[in-house]
Chain A
Amino acid sequence: MMLRGYFRVVPSALLLLWSDLMFAAGALEGAAERQALNPIAIGMFLLFVALTLYVTWWASKATKTSSTFYNAGGQITGAQNGLAIAGDFMSAASFLGITGLMYVGGFDGLILSLGAFGAWPVFMFLFAKRVRNLGNFTFIDVISQRLDRDPIRLVTAFSTILIVIMYLIAQMVGAGTLIQLLFGLPYEWALLLVSVLVLAYVAFGGMLATTWVQIIKAALLLTGVTLIAGLLLADSGFSFSNLLGKAVVNHPKGEAILGAGAIFSDPVQILTIQVSMLFGTVGLPHILMRLFTVPDMRQAKLSSYYASLFIGYFYIALLVLGFGSIAYVAGSPEFFDGEGKLIGGSNMAAIHVASAMGGDLLTGFMSAVCFATILAVVAGLTLSGAAAISHDVYAEVLKKGKPDPKTELRLTRVSVFLIGLAAVSLGIIFQHENIAFIATIPMVVSASVTFPILFLSLFWSGFTTRGAMYGAGVGLVSSIVLIVLGPQVWVSVLGNGEPIFPYDYPALFTMPASVLVMVIVSLRDRSDRGAVDRENYARLLVRSEFGASETELAESGVAS
């Protein structure tokens, strides 16, 4: 009877947990009471900070030009970059949010794991090689080689900045709440601490420092989940089946948690989540930017492959952690408050299971890893936003590709500072707001604007600038309108009874609409610019696939 209360949750709140962004929103809904200071967690976190600041100092000596600032000089290996991509992507929210959702609903929480993992093969098959071969610093370099550079750069830079800012607000609000929970620090201090550290990493160490922060964090996170999963399995006689049996006994829904339906019932809702997560992830600018840190196309493909291995392993480990949290946390009174609620809410289930398996030491370690995770993700986002402002808008549009290198580098650092300032300010402004809709926007916009433009530029000869502009407009406007008409704004923010649009994540509808408009307008485009766009496709085709022009290939005797 008591357990029933532990699992009583509002279904719409659970939806907020479906990605790392969603976690940030979900964190607001949970109990965010400050915890007592955890000296082990703080000690381990200080160790991480000392190590990463040393890396930043080392990286700052090598970061003297815009090139090294944006892409670490293109000298990161495929394996290192794969781990860095994993570090950029596997957030505290994946660890805490997905484990928390599994704690509540068992198998249904896995839709988030598969959704997040499913993007990586597509990333490799479609984009890794061609994007690397055609770009320099950002994915916008790729499309502007083919389409009319000024308008397309402005539109895609705008969508990049929108994605980064929305993503940052969600991350910062989630970070403030999470750090308050884990370390007992006041919300505003937590935001300031995150921001100052990220500014130090990015402004001084650029992509090189950001890469190593992400690598260190990914290694720590993978070590942590391996330890917890190993201890859970060891305690269950190294039998996953035994672990599932314990979870079934502890959960009020019993055997229902081993199959679908405990949380979600509508298959269309599942499809909306899958489409948003897969195509949204593939189009995220800070992830695409990582492809330019490696020396060649082979390393780019390897980056994606290693990222898949690490991320796939992580989500399989989370399968053990999720059911382990039900088996070892749900039946233990020490993890519940006087009212029978899980201390810190379901998002803390992962930390509690660490505590159940490894005591204060493992709890402190995982808390420090969560903090490090936030820093790594925010650093990647900040760098991507700064590159959109200083490289895509200033250097390429305002200075027509011929900027003064020192001015560009200075502007990049100023942009980093401004983004950091905006992140802290917006994090404080939105502290007590319902930000679920803000957390939804990046994935849906990425799936409906960035992905279609990038895909059609690389794979369709008939694509034109006009088609891209109209399609991007439709993708952006329809995404915002349907999110406003959906449950997160229409019901939760505006207080109406029933949503006009029934789904939280409209990418299942907005992405096809955007692609359709891009195709129809491009087909009907008879302008001179349209003809140039089509000719450019043929010109760039060989370079996109082989990494060199036809003339260069002929000279080297590689092809033709």
Chain B
Amino acid sequence: MTEANVEAVHRKTRQRLLFTGIHLVLYFSFTLNWTSWGTALGTYVGDTWLTGSLLMFVLLILTFIALETVFLMMSRWGAR
């Protein structure tokens, strides 16, 4: 295998593992809701009935989609 190809594959592998790592940290952070460290998440947001826990759920889903979007864009730039 040529140096250039090996380096390209390694770079992409690092990218894949980095994105997966970020995703897993965020994903498992949801468990905080069931621990004493996540007590603050039970408080209300402003004058609404929306709690930090509910907001976290929605934001996590949106963040995961944003991560995928960035990943796709980086792959496209890499291909160019």
Contacts and interface: CB of A to CB of B under 8 A. Distances in A.
Given A125-B19, A258-B54, A541 B9 contact: yes
Nearest to B39: A259
A129 B8 CA distance: 15
Contact of A117 (B1, B48, B64): B64
A223 interface: no
A262 to B, nearest CB: 11
B5 A117 contact: no
B71 A125 contact: yes
Q: Is the interface of B mostly helix, strand, loop or mixed?
A: helix
A542 B1 contact: yes
B50 A244 contact: yes
B54 A121 contact: no
B68 A124 contact: yes
B65 A309 contact: yes
Interface in B1-34: 1-2, 4-6, 8-9, 12-13, 16-17, 19-20, 23-24, 27-28, 30-31, 33-34
Interface stretch (A54-62, A267-275, A445-453): A267-275
Interface string B43-65: 00000111101100110111011
Contact of B71 (A124, A259, A271, A546): A124
B23 A122 contact: yes
Given A114-B57, A260-B53, A271 B64 contact: no
Contact of B34 (A240, A258, A264, A538): A264
Contacts of B34: 260-261, 264-267, 270
A316 B49 CA distance: 17
A126 interface: yes
Nearest to B38: A260
Interface residues of B, number: 44
Nearest to B79: A298
A409 interface: no
Given A121-B23, A305-B68, A271 B61 contact: no
A259 B17 CA distance: 32
A125 B22 CA distance: 11
B12 A545 contact: yes
Which bracket fits the contact residues of A?
Answer: 35 or more
Contact of A114 (B8, B30, B71): B30
A258 B72 contact: no
Contacts of A309: 65
Given A125-B20, A258-B49, A258-B53, A308 B5 contact: no
A121 B67 contact: yes
Interface string A210-239: 000000000000000000000000000000
Contact of A559 (B8, B23, B41): B8
A315 interface: yes
Contact of B27 (A248, A260, A274): A274
Contacts of B20: 121-122, 125-126
B4 to A, nearest CB: 5
B36 to A, nearest CB: 10
A550 B54 contact: no
A274 B48 contact: no
Contacts of A546: 5, 8
A304 B67 CA distance: 13
A545 B75 CA distance: 11
A113 interface: yes
A542 B68 contact: no
Nearest to A302: B72
A550 B57 contact: no
B52 to A, nearest CB: 8
Interface of B: 1-2, 4-6, 8-9, 12-13, 16-17, 19-20, 23-24, 27-28, 30-31, 33-35, 38, 41-42, 48-51, 53-54, 57-58, 60-62, 64-65, 67-69, 71-72, 75
Given A242-B49, A278-B27, A541-B9, 18 more contacts: A110-B54, A114-B30, A124-B71, A125-B16, A241-B50, A248-B49, A258-B50, A258-B54, A259-B33, A270-B31, A274-B28, A274-B30, A301-B72, A542-B5, A545-B13, A546-B8, A553-B5, A560-B5
